[in-house]
Amino acid sequence: MAVHVIKPIIEVIMMIHGTGTPPYSTNTNASGSNSPANAPPPYSLFPDQPQQPRVTEGDAADLVLRYLANDLGYDQRNRTSVLERVIRIHNAMAENAADQLVLAGQDDFAAKFPKLNQWIDKKLSFLNHNQLMEFAFASGHFNEYSQAHEYNRGNLKSTITDFFQRYFSQEGLDSGVTKLDLLQSTNILYQNSEQLDKFTEVYSDVSCLEVIKAMEESADSSNFNFPAALPIARNIGISWRIFTISLGHPFNSYYADQTYNNCGRNILKTMLTILHDFALRGRPTEDLIDKLTPTFIGRTDLSEGLAKALQRS
């Protein structure tokens, strides 16, 4: 989910309570005065404003999470993406390296699996952005791509590394390496001879890499055939909007336009996002065939191609 506005903690607290003075829990200290429990020193938003007791760190954290959940409607998965982005913005603004924060899962990867991390940087950095998106979708890890892209603000090199860290953490080493064949079998490399040469080198040194055990597969989308659906996103072209609306609730015109704008008006990314959402809602791949027929958008080539791909799988 795209994040359009992230407000500073103090602003969020004030919005929740509708006042310029943040609330705070009080605790009687040794001198008998009331002050926020374990709170930082008082503050003032403006030079001429009296100092206000500062909300405790614990209360501030609770209020921010409550605001994300109740007022903005973010579930836990999407709150994770928001907080990752907050941390990245915080780190970019930090004047001292000591003030920067680390994400345990991401930073632990390089420490736990240094050989695999170096292998990712060396062997998979040849992918371009569209190829990375297509592979993430075909392999069933488009959510991991979205998180990596959001966290790294679109920086391709960092997104590739971050994505494959998440990918191998989910898939495990054996399955993750095996699925890399999708780069060739789904024509993601577009028969680019230079990239194909680099792809042949991907499997070298695999036996020396650290072993990662696979995590349990998500039940929501495990039956969806992502590789078979990939050509739809790649070739739908200007018919993408009519096709999206034909999918039925909640894929209406508002949903289509919002997704298109959130994806930077990139049709490929828009369609990958929509098809991924379609899969997460438990809809079977076969339901897409009728939506590609002349009754809807007249893409018989895509409907027949999808039907044949599903028969082969």
> Given the structure tokens 């309570």, which residue do they identify?
17
Measured in degrees and rounded to the nearest 5, phi and psi for residue 26 equal -105, 150
What is the greatest pairwise CA distance in the chain? 80
pLDDT confidence of residue 73: 81
Report yes or no: 227 and 186 within 8 Å, Cβ to Cβ.
yes
Euclidean distance between the first and the last CA atom of the chain, given in angstroms as a whole number? 31
Q: How far is Cα 3 from Cα 29, in angstroms, rounded to an integer?
A: 40
CB 84 within 8 A of CB 150: yes
**pLDDT single digits (tens) 183-234:** 999 999 987 788 988 898 899 889 999 999 887 554 445 689 999 999 999 9
Q: What is the DSSP letter of 31?
A: T
List C-alpha distances in Å: 199 to 124, 185, 192. 8, 12, 10
Q: Which residue has the higher pLDDT, 212 or 100?
A: 212
Measured CA distances, 137 to 90, 102, 313 (Å) = 30, 27, 17
- Comparing 49 with 125, the larger pLDDT belongs to 125
Predicted confidence band of residue 63 (pLDDT cuts 50, 70, 90): confident
